[in-house]
Amino acid sequence: MKQIVMAERAGFCFGVKRAVDAILEALTGNPEREVWTIGMPIHNPQEVARLKNMGLRVAEEVSEVPPGVKVLIRAHGESRAVLRELREKNVCVIDTTCPFVRRAQDLANSLSDEGYHIVLLGDRNHPEIRSIMGYVDGGLDVVVDEAEAMLLPKRGRVALISQTTQQEERLAAVAAILVRRAGELRVCNTICRATMERQDAVRALVGRVDGVVLIGGRESANTGKLRNIAEMSGLDVLWIESTEELDRGWFEGRERIGIAAGASTPEWLITEISNKIARM
């Protein structure tokens, strides 16, 4: 039997658990009323499939949502424009935006109103970044890393706001670049504590295991960051979404297996995969 070492922090963070609990409550509490989300409620296809089997409907655009239904705003949040469209449809909106994302939205809104040019650090195609962009009324740039920050022009007043799943090291590196490109720079550390705890838990596996099985959706930004941290620390990583992706060849010669999981990975999936590894 393989020896399994679990990362100290793994699986659902507070914001994701809060959103999933709200979906489950809506599905079980009002079976006669349809429950919708705009986009995948969390970046884990197995959990989304489970919720869909219970009756959740997932729309890609607001136009697909019929009037009179329940619509849950996912943890990633939505822009003000999307919220306005939903109100015009006369739907029942249940807002489960993560408090850390809400803080980033509020900062983007208030600093933009104060005249700062907003720089967002993150994936410009990620729903969280798109939701924060929807709270900026003035100048705005999105950068994914230091290289893109180097290309920004010099400006008077700049505010740097981070996607909640970024690494603090990258935020600090981008801030160091922008401080030379701004007359005044405000840096807002909006990285959530749960993200940092999971990143630290992966670092703590270094020297203790022969490799790490990382469980999480391919579209999960925070899981991707965990993979980067593990590989930069010298750990071999097997990133999987389900038990079907377990590669027996990867386990050969490895006796101590670390298991880590992104903040959108449900506990039942972590247990299922851990049990299968233990039987290998």
Do 205 and 212 meet the contact criterion of CB atoms below 8 Å apart? yes
> What is residue 34's predicted lDDT score, i.e. its pLDDT?
84
100 vs 76: CA distance, rounded Å: 9
Q: Residue 5: in which H helix or E strand, if any?
A: strand 3-6
61 is catalytic: no
Coil, helix or strand for 61? coil
Q: Residue 251: in which H helix or E strand, if any?
A: helix 248-251
Q: Which residue has the tokens 């022969």?
A: 210
In 3D space, the residue among 257, 211, 241, 243 whose CA is nearest the CA of residue 1 turns out to be: 257
pLDDT, tens only, 223-240: 999 999 999 999 999 999
213 vs 236: CA distance, rounded Å: 9
> What is residue 31's predicted lDDT score, i.e. its pLDDT?
62
Which two three-digit tokens encode residue 3?
Answer: 């020896």
Q: Residue 37: in which H helix or E strand, if any?
A: strand 35-38
> What is residue 22's predicted lDDT score, i.e. its pLDDT?
93
Which entry of 34, 47, 78, 128 is annotated as an active-site residue?
128
Contact partners, residue 123, CB within 8 Å, separation at least 6: 129, 144, 163, 221
To 5 degrees, how large is the angle CA 147–CA 151–CA 153?
145
In 3D space, the residue among 271, 269, 228, 258 whose CA is nearest the CA of residue 45 turns out to be: 269
pLDDT, tens only, 153-211: 999 999 999 999 998 999 999 999 999 999 999 999 999 988 889 999 999 999 999 99
Do 35 and 59 meet the contact criterion of CB atoms below 8 Å apart? no
Q: Consecutive 10-residue runs of the chain (280 residues): their mean pLDDT?
A: 88 92 86 84 93 93 92 94 92 93 97 98 95 96 97 97 94 97 97 91 94 94 92 94 93 93 95 90
In 3D space, the residue among 249, 269, 266, 270 whose CA is nearest the CA of residue 258 turns out to be: 270
> What is residue 1's predicted lDDT score, i.e. its pLDDT?
62
